[in-house]
Amino acid sequence: MTYQISSLEDYKQTYQRSIDDPEGFWADQAETFTWRKKWDSVLEWDFREPNIKWFSGAKLNITENCLDRHIATRGDQVAILWEPNNPADEVQKFTYRELLAAVCKCANALKALGIEKGDRVVFYMPMVPELAIAVLACARIGAVHSVVFAGFSAQALADRVNDASAKMIICSDFNNRGSKHIPVKKVVDEAMAKGCPSIENILVHKNSNEDIEWSDKDVWWHDQVAGQSEECPAEIMDAEDLLFILYTSGSTGKPKGVVHTCGGYMVYTCFTFKNAFQYKDGDIYWCTADIGWITGHSYIVYGPLLAGATSVMFEGVPTYPDAGRFWEICEKHQVNQFYTAPTAIRALMARGDEWPNKYDLSPLKLLGSVGEPINEEAWNWYNKTIGKEKSPIIDTWWQTETGGIMITPLPGITDAKPTYASYPMPGVQPVLLDADGNLVEGNNVEGLLCIKFPWPAMLRTTYGDHERCRQTYFSVFKDMYFTGDGARRDEEGRIRVIGRVDDVMNVSGHRMGTAEVENAINEHENVIESAVVGYPHEIKGQGIYAYVITDGSKGGEDLINEIRAVVTREIGPIAKPDKIQVVSGLPKTRSGKIMRRILRKIAAKDTSNLGDVSTLLNPEIVEEIIKGSL
């Protein structure tokens, strides 16, 4: 059994051991899993390359650990409890035994379609059980899954398919989200029309009675999977073989494929799940994330299943059919641990207390938050109105690249202070640096958040571009993993993550590169140049503010709407700018670099202290932009 910390003293001792003897510590954790062959060495690492190997030489299959090893002890326990978009529709429950059978059938179907170990399979699916099943089916046969959030555009999907040279896309025909019925397969068809030469088949799960366009590469899930055997031997994987690629935004235009591998990711996600959520046998755990993001990978699918938990998966949205939906589900399934994003908390807080107050939330033992800083007001509401001041809140800080939770309070064990992610998980060694790379020591200080020692679930590379991985994360500061976040350490050593220090925005908990959005805006035929920044937004955390220079041939609402439509086409609706200001120029340094610092301040309506603008190439533009700001 994975070790579960039970007291503050235990945390302190466990943490100390994990720092004094990381290899011994993680080897002990790894011993609790099923390995086909044990490791030759626990850790080999060199951050300069970077070259990171955990459990080198070990052989395993993560699905044997998620599924097969639980059959003897909890075969009839519900593994995945699926709640449909429409509350009147039927809940689906998969016991561990049923889930294993479903995964094996799907795995056999994939094999029959020629998918082999190492092949990349891209997903573009709503939150239906088949998404989790097919992700695990890939892992079963050693195929590398890459789930693309089903809100991205056809262009974004095609870019990811091509970057991964994927052999197959798995999608649904339609996506039911709230009152919307979104034609998912149509987006896949559009992506294919843009050119995805590596795709051999599209496996389509039926989620609607409507007809869809069909091509000779398309295969129905129900035709392909139904007749397959419920047994499928697990492919034996090396600990460092690829498990998945997940694309995420960086400060340059192109999303990068963050690569996670089998062994270390398994050990770390299970350990962090058991400890951060203090999951106990019989608990019902619900993470509201989408499997299109890392939170869904690590804490809907892998972490909970590795730990033998019952994990709720929800197809819908928090406000459909009404703003009580989350709380209704909590009551209906007697949810004990609830994990969501600050943006959802703020949106529901704005709807008033009458919604949560309609439901019995007494089974809740823990509330979690992830994805962005949680402001004090939202934290307090979550604590009082949802947790009734008896459910500890864990504000979990981590990233797509870290694979699992890095800094978090442990519920009932370490105290929680609003807006603080608090203390590191065992094995995690965070440090703060100044801009020159010097350690910022002591408490009550701020700095750039780095991690100075490897942990098992860290990214290994960015797919197809190892140099980009090196440059982005490992070369900014010597011998450090650089997170891209700024943080503060309080008088008692707790860490509060303030936000990104690079050109990455966090919109409703979704990571978005400013360059990515600018590239999309610049596709509009009348746009000459643009600059995008994030600004404080009451519900979304950050909103997107775009400054655009046009050729002057078009203006007004039409132009604004067209620009928004172009961004939706290029990336997806999540990247649509909230505010678009047409400007005649952008503040630039003499070397031609846009001074985003100034634009950020203007967008935040904080123009009292813009600093010295006289060194700009065009200082007069600043006043003009302030006058026209939205």
Residue number with CB closer to ligand PRX (396 or 514): 396
Nearer to ligand PRX, 397 or 547 (CB): 397
On the 0-12 / 13-18 / 19+ scale of CB atoms within 10 A, 59 is middle
Distance of CA 120 to the CA centre of its chain: 19
Restricting to residues 15-74, name those near ligand PRX by CB under 6 A: none
Q: Quick check: 459 and 469 in contact, CB under 8 A?
A: yes
From the list 219, 42, 40, the residue with the least C-alpha distance to 121 is 219
Residue 378 CB, shortest distance to ligand PRX, in Å, is 12
Stretch that binds ligand PRX, among 226-234, 311-319, 391-399, 560-568 (CB under 6 A): 391-399
Q: Closest Cα partner for 285 from 341, 340, 359, 338?
A: 338
Structural contact between residues 596 and 500, judged by C-beta atoms closer than 8 angstroms = no
Least separation in angstroms between CB 388 and ligand PRX: 22
Q: Which stretch binds ligand PRX (CB under 6 A): 164-172, 313-321, 478-486, 515-523?
A: 478-486
Q: How many residues form the binding site for ligand PRX (CB under 6 A)?
A: 22
- Report if residue 248 touches ligand PRX, rule: CB under 6 A: yes
Rounded CA-CA distance 311/263 in Å is 22
- Rounded CA separation 135/122 (Å): 10
Listed residue (326, 324, 323, 322) closest to 312, CA to CA: 326
Which CB, 267 or 497, lies closer to ligand PRX?
A: 497
The Cα–Cα gap between 527 and 260 comes to: 38
The dihedrals phi and psi of 433, each to the nearest 5 degrees, come to -125, 155
Q: Return the residue matching tokens 């995805």.
A: 196
Q: Which residue is nearest to ligand PRX (CB)?
A: 400
Site for ligand PRX in 338-377 (CB under 6 A): 370-373
Give the residue with the Cβ less far from ligand PRX, 391 or 506: 506
Q: Which is nearer to ligand PRX, 60 or 289 (CB)?
A: 289
Integer Cα distance of 270 and 170 in angstroms = 26
Distance in Å, CB of 369 to ligand PRX, minimum: 6
Token pair belonging to 427: 């094995």
Closest to ligand PRX by CB, 507 or 586: 507
* Residue 473 binds ligand PRX, judged by CB under 6 A: no
CB closer to ligand PRX out of 511 and 596: 511
Question: Distances in Å between the alpha carbon of 14 and those of 23, 60, 581?
Answer: 13, 26, 53
Q: Supply the minimum distance, in Å, between the C-beta of residue 339 and ligand PRX.
A: 11
**Residue 402 beta carbon to ligand PRX: minimum distance, rounded to whole angstroms:** 8
| 8 A C-beta contact, residue 72 and residue 94 | no
- Is 447 a residue that touches ligand PRX (CB under 6 A)? no
| Omega cis (within 30) before 363 | no
Angstrom distance (rounded) from CA 147 to CA 497: 27
Site for ligand PRX in 284-313 (CB under 6 A): 294-295
Residue number with CB closer to ligand PRX (263 or 292): 292
Report yes or no: 316 and 176 within 8 Å, Cβ to Cβ.
yes
Query: Cβ 253 to ligand PRX, closest distance in Å?
Result: 17
511 binds ligand PRX (CB under 6 A): yes
The single residue listed with the structure tokens 């559009």 is: 190
Q: How far is the CB of 65 from ligand PRX (least distance, A)?
A: 22
424 is an interface residue for ligand PRX by CB under 6 A:
no
83 vs 502 by CB, closer to ligand PRX: 502
Q: Which is nearer to ligand PRX, 373 or 424 (CB)?
A: 373
**The two three-digit tokens of residue 467, written as one number:** 């140099």
Contact status, residue 504 vs residue 249, Cβ threshold 8 Å: yes
Per-residue binding letters, 394-423, with ligand PRX (x by CB under 6 A): -xxxxxx--------------------x--
String marking each residue 481-500 x if it binds ligand PRX according to CB under 6 A? --xxx-----------x-xx
Q: Which stretch binds ligand PRX (CB under 6 A): 103-111, 136-144, 223-231, 393-401?
A: 393-401
| Phi/psi-derived region of residue 214, left when phi > 0, alpha when psi is between -120 and 50, beta in every other case | beta
Residues that bind ligand PRX (CB under 6 A): 248, 294-295, 370-373, 395-400, 421, 483-485, 497, 499-500, 506, 511
